[in-house]
Amino acid sequence: MIELKNVSKEFVSPKKYPGFKGAIKGLFSNEKVRKVAVDDISFTIEKGEIVGYIGSNGAGKSTTIKMMTGILNPTEGTCLVDGIDPSKNRKENAQNIGVVFGQRTQLWWDLPLSESFTILKEIYDVSDEDYANQMEFLNRVLELDEFFDRPVRTLSLGQRMRADLGAALLHNPKVLYLDEPTIGLDLVVKDNIRHAIKEINEKYQTTVILTTHDIGDIEELCSRIIIIDEGKKIYDGTLEDLKDTYGKRRKVTMEVRKPDLLKELQLFQKIESVNDVQITENDYDSVLDVEGKTYTVSFDKHKMQVPQILSAVMELTEVTDIKLQETELAEIVKEIYNHGGV
Ligand SMILES: Nc1ncnc2c1ncn2[C@@H]1O[C@H](COP(=O)(O)OP(=O)(O)O)[C@@H](O)[C@H]1O
Ligand SMILES: [Mg+2]
């Protein structure tokens, strides 16, 4: 249903200088700032999947969604949504997709909600029969009746979100993009929204991609999550696997005197022979940076320990400094659990 191949997006904007003098300087300067917001991302999403698109602020989530909706063109790579290139056939793509940005509404602020729906019916060319059917369904799952005649600006945040979701689904799109759909909502409304998303997905096999910081959204909705960090995809799999595999990962960086000596190091064999334990190559990843003179090992903390790694390395060369960190993914797992939810 959705296929991204090596998609990148680079923003180029004029360089900003601080202060008033800086503003003047900026007027006459041609200096540009380049920002790679999305960096060589590929994935395929099948019809009917609900995928959580996760990452910290500024990771590149919204930029990816904007490319899938046709609002932005990729700088590199290709994006296909139901066989259509959104940047080339934006209108055709629009018929297939629904979009909700949690931070702002797509509805007409001063009009009664009912009129927004009438306008959308025209825009998307929905037949009277389909409209009636879909409204019956949307009213049942989102209870729009309660406030259908009120101007959008008078709605509470929760009502507005239900309204926005309903509006995005009026033409029964094949793909639904939700950017932070539960942000700022209280628990009851969150729950309603999640149930609605689930029902729509089950009834129509709608493909759903949502960005969220809310672990509840992920746990209740997403059979799969894709994590991006600084524009790069760093994980694609289930939440369970992420917790099992990366929640326990640690990372140790060692500064060493003679990194060349570590080139041939088979760490797991070395640790096994030194410590009499059983380790496989899957229990760790290692990166040797000869120029920076560092050796970094990400490892499963239940399988091996820092002193074991250290002693194996010190058999070959002197270690001059050592830094212990969580891996990016372990940090992200923690972050979603600490900041997410209520
Ligand atoms: N129009 C733009 N011009 C320049 N930089 C942008 C633009 N839009 C986003 N960025 C930058 O790209 C990065 C990714 O942004 P975004 O996709 O909004 O992240 P997220 O949604 O994950 O928080 C950020 O560093 C952001 O400042
Ligand atoms: Mg965003």
Give the HSE-up count for residue 157: Cα atoms under 13 Å, Cβ half-sphere: 14
Please name every residue paired with 84 in a beta bridge, in sequence order, or none if there are none.
81
Cβ–Cβ < 8 Å for 340, 273: no
Pocket test for ligand 1, best of 16, 35, 233 (most atoms within 8 A of CB): 35
**Nearest-CA residue for atom 1 of ligand 1:** 11
Which fold would CATH assign to domain 2-237? Rossmann fold (3.40.50)
Q: Is 66 in the pocket of ligand 1 (CB under 6 A)?
A: no
Would you give the DSSP letter of residue 38?
E
Closest-lying ligand to the alpha carbon of 38?
Answer: 1
Q: Where do the H-state alpha helices sit in the chain?
A: 19-28, 61-69, 90-96, 113-123, 128-142, 157-169, 187-204, 215-221, 239-246, 267-275, 306-314, 328-339
Q: Locate tokens 């019956």: which residue?
A: 136
Tokens read off for 293? 């003179």
**For residue 62, how far is its CA from the centre of ligand 2 (angstroms)?**
4
Pocket test for ligand 1, best of 8, 9, 10, 11 (most atoms within 8 A of CB): 11
**For residue 232, how far is its CA from the centre of ligand 2 (angstroms)?**
15
- Domain layout of the chain by residue ranges: 2-237, 249-333
Length of the chain in terms of residues written: 342
C-alpha triplet 63, 66, 72: angle, nearest 5°: 95
pLDDT tens-digit map of 61-74: 999 999 999 999 99
The reply to whether CATH 3.90.550.10 applies to domain 249-333 is: no
C-beta atoms surrounding 45 within 10 Å = 21
Q: Is 35 in the pocket of ligand 1 (CB under 6 A)?
A: yes
Annotate 195-251 with DSSP letters as a single string. HHHHHHHHHH--EEEEE-S-HHHHHHH-SEEEEEETTEEEEEE-HHHHHHHHTTEEE
pLDDT tens per residue, the chain (342 residues)?
999 999 999 999 887 778 888 778 777 777 888 999 999 999 999 999 999 999 888 999 999 999 999 999 999 999 999 999 999 998 899 999 999 988 888 899 999 999 999 999 999 999 999 999 999 999 999 999 999 999 999 999 999 999 999 999 999 999 999 999 888 888 888 998 999 999 999 999 999 999 988 888 888 999 999 999 899 998 899 988 887 777 778 889 999 999 999 888 888 888 887 667 788 888 888 899 999 899 999 888 888 888 889 988 998 999 999 998 877 776 777 766 665 433
